[in-house]
Chains A and B, each alone.
Chain A
Amino acid sequence: MSRIEALFAKKSPVLIGFTVAGDPGIEASFRVAKTMIDARVDLLEIAIPYSDPVADGPVIERAHVRALRAGATPETAFALVREVREYAPALPVVLFTYYNIIHRRGGDRFFAEAAAAGADGVLVVDLPVEESDEVAPFAARYGIDRIALVAPTTSPDRQRAILYGASGFVYIISIEGVTGERDRLSPGIARLVGAVREKTALPLAVGFGISRPEHVRTVVAAGADGVIVGSALVRTIEEHLGDEAGMHAALRTVIARLRRGFAPDPEPDILRRERVEG
């Protein structure tokens, strides 16, 4: 059983935390990952820094810029995976990447390196199912899950085509747009989760725009097995640049608040109205 399977088998819902390798600095990046793990993130999604992250909103884009300025490369991301693997041997890790990083390296080398570092899955944000043959054989060869993406715009037929080759879990994009925090989630999210659920036995995780406990609650109520939080964590890093102690305290606070969305009982109104800070 893979680490991803084992996680979802024993726990649902799960909290998936996102970080850009090398943000806010190459060494500081591991300390960020460690804090996220200590704060009980269940699965870590590590982005390989890229010069042109078009699927990302401004918050995550700036994280890519910080990482690249710090000298981060794909090797930095593999090194971070290795460190996380050592620190938390059972914690599943997914590499999030733009396709050109793989294209330049060659699929065989990329997936070999990802596997050697201890990654469990790879998510290629700009490689649609029509082009996925370019990586599928390598993912299979090295035993890496290919995390599939389903968007609100994905037709039922495309959903089937996408799910056919998917493994690990399915990443459901909650909103039409780039990554980034939103005031409210798309009202169609429950329908989308339901439609994908009918077509696959894989766990479903919902991401894009999730930044508050009530979002988490909505997504869990919609039947998702996990939520993915990115910009809210990355923004916390950005707001505490130069104050590492404050950064780690704030990350712990944000993650604890988000986890409250998993609580079966609704929070008092006073907490629900409060924005996730930090």
Chain B
Amino acid sequence: MSFRDISERKEAREQIEQLNRELEERVLERTEQLSLAIKELEAFSYSVSHDLRAPLRAIDGYTRILTEDYREVLDSEGVRLCGVIRDNTRNMGQLIDDLLSFSRLGRVGRGLWCNLLFLFAGCQKA
């Protein structure tokens, strides 16, 4: 009777070990997927910052040139309108910067999540 008890326990332990191995593999796989997603997000953030800033710089610059080179032609209302355009380009520039900061913040959060996953995988090994 006692022999059978031990072999059952042995079988159960092997099963647990097998499950642990599978879990570890799955954690590694998910971590890899997560790293890839983070890399894609970084590339996207860069592209956003680069591509959105360029036209904004042109709008701001050319509006400034208008007020510099055509000061005699523009009345005070014309100068005010140019000012409004430039205020808005600055706002949009700030929005792009904030968007990037936000995506970086997300990256830190995801980094924490990755660490937790690794910690979890480590506990399973111990």
Q: Do they bind each other?
A: no
Q: Which residues from chain B sit less than 8 Å from chain A, CB to CB?
A: none
Q: Which residues from chain A sit less than 8 Å from chain B, CB to CB?
A: none
